[in-house]
Amino acid sequence: MQGNLLSNVLDEQLGNKMYFRPITFSQLLFSLKRKKITISNEESKLARVLSTFDLTALGIGSTLGVGVYVLAGEVSRNYAGPAVVFSFLIAAIASAFAGLCYAEFGARVPKAGSAYIYSYVSVGEFIAFIIGWNLILEYVIGSASVVKGLFVYIDRLADNVMSKWFEETMPIDVDNLATYPDFFSLAMILIFSVALAFGAKESSFINTICTSINLIIVLFVVISGIWKVNTDNWFLSKDEAIDQCKDNPNVGEGGFAPFGINGIIKGAAKCFYGFIGFDCIATAGEEAKTPQKSIPLAIVISLFIIFLSYFGISTVLTMMIPYCDQDESAPFPHVYEFVGWEWAKYVVSCGALAGLFASLLGAMFPLPRIIYAMSTDGLLFNFLGKVHPKYQTPFMGTLAAGVLTGVLACILDMHQLFGMMSIGTLFAYSMVAGCILILRFDIGPTDKKDDDFQVITFGSVVKQLYNRKLKYPTRLSSSIVTYEVAMYLAVCFLLAPLLSQCEDLLSEADPLVISGVVILAIIAIALVSSIACQPRSSAKLTFSVPLVPWLPAISMFINIYLMTTLAQNTWIQFAIWIAIGLAIYFLYGIWNSTETGKETQVHDKNDNIEATENGHK
C-alpha cells in the first residue's frame, strides 16, 4: 500500500511511469548486476553522419586545448620543471593504454554512451551507472574549465578588463567559490550548447576548422621557438634559478628535474588532464558512418598527434625561458613577451582561442550523449533523452547539460575545476580496462557451451587457475577471470597508495613498507598470470587490444596510481558526487531501467527452475 502511494506521488512529480515495488534481497542483487542485452538490434535515432576524419578532428580538438595553452606552464613551474616533457610522456602512455581499450570497446559496441554502455554490456547496470555518472562529472567539469581558460586568454589580451570589472561591480565573498561571477563563460557555454543542439555534422564542421587552426599554431610555436631556445634553461642550478626567477621562490633543487621523481609523477597526474577528451570519439559511435573501423583508427591517430604536439610544445616552452619564470594561466603570451616578440603573442593567442574553442566543442559534445544513453536506458529522467525530430540530436539533454556547465563555470574558479577533472576519468578508464579482460575471457556466441551443468567445487577452481589445456571458455573459467579482475583491482588500490604516499619510507628502505610492496606486487602478478592461462573467447573483432591481459592490467594500475596522487579534498568531493548519484539510482534508476522487464522474466525463470529442482529433491 505504501509502495503504491509513493509510486503515485512520484508519477505526479516526475511524469514518468515508475516501477517502485517491493522486491526481495535476491532480486535487488540481480537488478544491480543485470546487463544490457539488446544492443546490435536496436535502431538508432541519431543521424550517422561522422566520418573517420570527423572523429579524428573531434578527438584532437577536444584534447588539444587547455593542455597546450594553459597546463604546460603550470606543470613546469610548480611540479616538474623541464622534466614536464616526461610528465606528458607518462600521461600519454597511460592514455594510450586506455585508448586501446576504448578502441576495442568502440568496435564491439558502436553505441552512444562510451564507457557507460561498454560496462553495461559486460559488467552490469550498477557499475555502468557509476561510470556514467562519473563521465557526466568529467565532461561538465571539463567543459567548465575549458571555457574558463578561454575567458582567461581573452581577458589577458584585453589587459584584464573583464575580470577587473566583474570583481569591482559584483564581488563574491564565499569560501570555495570564485571571487566574481563569470557571466562571459556562462554566455559562451549557452551559445555552444545551442550550436551543438542544432546538429552533429554542423558542429563537427566548426570543430574541424578550429582544430586545423590550432594545429597550424602548434607548428608555428615549435618552429618559431627553435630560434629562441636555450638548452641551458634545462640545466639551471638552484642558485641560478633563484637569481633568474626572483618572483618565484619555489625553484626546487634546480636542474632538469628540480622537484625530483615525485614532481614528475605529480606533474603526470596533472598532465593527464591534458589527454582527457579522446574518449569523446567513442561517445559518437552511434553517429559514426562505420563505427567498427573509424572509432579505433580515429583514437589511435588522434592520440599520436596529440602526444607529438604536447611534447614539442613543452620542449620549446621550457627551453625558451626558465621553468620557474613560466606563467601559470597564459604561458605563451608571457614567453613571447619575455623574448621580445610582441607580435608573436597575438598570433599564438589566436591559435589558443581556436584551440580552446575546439576543445570546448569536444568537451561539450559527449556530455549530452552520455545523458541521452542513460536516460533512454531509464537510469536518468526520461525527458533528457528526447531526440529532436528535425535536428536528430539529444536536444533537451544538450541544453540541460549546457545550463549546468554554465552555472559551474560562472561561480567556480578554473583551478578549483581542475581538481575534480581527473578522478572520474581515471576511474572510468580503469573500469574499461577491466571490462576488456572480462569480455576477452567470457563465453562467446561461437564458443562451445558444454559445461552448463558443471559442478563448481574448490578443487575444480584450484585446478583451473593455471590450466592452459581448455580451448574454449567455460562457466568456471569466465567466473575465475571475473573474480580475479575484481581482486586485482583491490590489490591495485592497496599497492598504489604505498608507492605514492610512502615515498620517503621507500627511499629509506623501510622493511615494513618494502615487504608490503613486494607481497602485493607478487599477488598482482600471480593474478594476471592466472588470467593469462584461461581460455579466450573466439569472437572475431575488427580491432583488439594487444598483449591481453598484461596491457589492460598495466593500464588499470597506472590509472589507479595516478588517482592516489590526487588531493584528499578531491576524493571528498568525489565521494559527495557519488552519493548524489547513488540516491538517483536507488530512488529512480533501478525502478525505471529498460532492462527491468527482461530482468523480471529471467529472475522468474530462475525461480521456476529452482522450484523444480527442489521438487525433484
Query: What digits encode the pLDDT tens for the residues 70-81?
Result: 778 888 888 888
* 457 and 418 in a common domain: no
Query: Residue 71, class by beta-carbon neighbours within 10 Å (0-12 exposed, 13-18 middle, 19+ buried)?
Result: buried
What cell was used for 406?
Answer: 554554465
Domain end, chosen from 503, 536, 569, is at 536
| 3-class SS of residue 50 | strand
Q: Rounded to whole angstroms, how far apart are CA atoms 13 and 552?
A: 44
Same structural domain, 386 and 295: yes
Asked if residue 450 and residue 429 are part of one domain, the reply reads: no
59 and 177 share one domain: yes
Evaluate whether residue 466 is within a structural domain: yes
CA distance 77 to 317: 11
- At residue 393, φ and ψ (nearest 5 deg) are -125, 155
**Residue 569, in any domain of the structure:** no
pLDDT at 44 (0 to 100): 55
C-alpha to C-alpha distance for 115 and 135, rounded to whole angstroms: 8
Same structural domain for residues 423 and 486? no
Residue that the C-alpha cell 623574448 belongs to: 339
Flag the least confident range among 107-116, 309-318, 585-594: 107-116
Helix (H, G, I), strand (E, B) or coil at 124: coil
Q: How far apart are CA 395 and CA 405, in angstroms?
A: 15
207 plus 354 within the same structural domain: yes
CA 25, distance to chain mean position in Å, is: 33
- The 3-state DSSP class for residue 288 equals strand
Q: CA 59, CA 54: separation in Å to the nearest integer?
A: 9
The pLDDT of residue 611 is above 50: no
CA-CA-CA-CA dihedral for 263, 265, 266, 268, to nearest 10: 120
123 and 214 assigned to the same domain = yes
| pTM of structure | 0.77
Q: What average pLDDT score do residues 428-446 get?
A: 82
Mean pLDDT of 18-41: 59
Please say if the pLDDT value at position 616 is more than 60. no
DSSP 464-520: HTT----SS--HHHHHHHHHHHHHHHHHHHHHHHHHHH-HHHHHTT-HHHHHHHHHH
- Amino acid code (one letter) for 130: I
Q: What percent of the chain has pLDDT over 90?
A: 8
Rounded Cα distance between 392 and 274, Å, is 31
- Check the CA dihedral 16-22-25-30 and report its sign: negative
Q: Tens of pLDDT along 528-570?
A: 999 999 998 887 777 788 889 999 999 999 889 888 877 777 7
CATH number, residue 366: 1.20.1740.10
Binning pLDDT at 50, 70 and 90, where does residue 492 land? very high
Specify the range with the lowest mean pLDDT, choosing from 20-24, 232-236, 287-291: 20-24
Residues 149-170 have a mean pLDDT of 81
Record the cell numbers describing residue 325, joined without a space.
619564470
Give me the domain span that covers residue 466.
Answer: 445-536
Could you tell me if 279 and 427 lie in one domain?
A: yes
Last residue of a domain, one of 386, 401, 436: 436
User: CB neighbours of 492 closer than 8 A, spacing ≥ 6?
Assistant: 524, 556, 557, 560, 561
Whether residue 549 is preceded by a cis peptide bond, meaning omega within 30 degrees of 0, is: yes
186-209 as b/e: b if 16+ CB within 10 A: bebbeebbebbbebbeebbebbbe
Mean pLDDT in residue range 605-614: 45
User: Among the three residues 536, 564, 589, which one is the final residue of a domain in this structure?
Assistant: 536
Report the number of distinct structural domains present in the chain.
Answer: 2
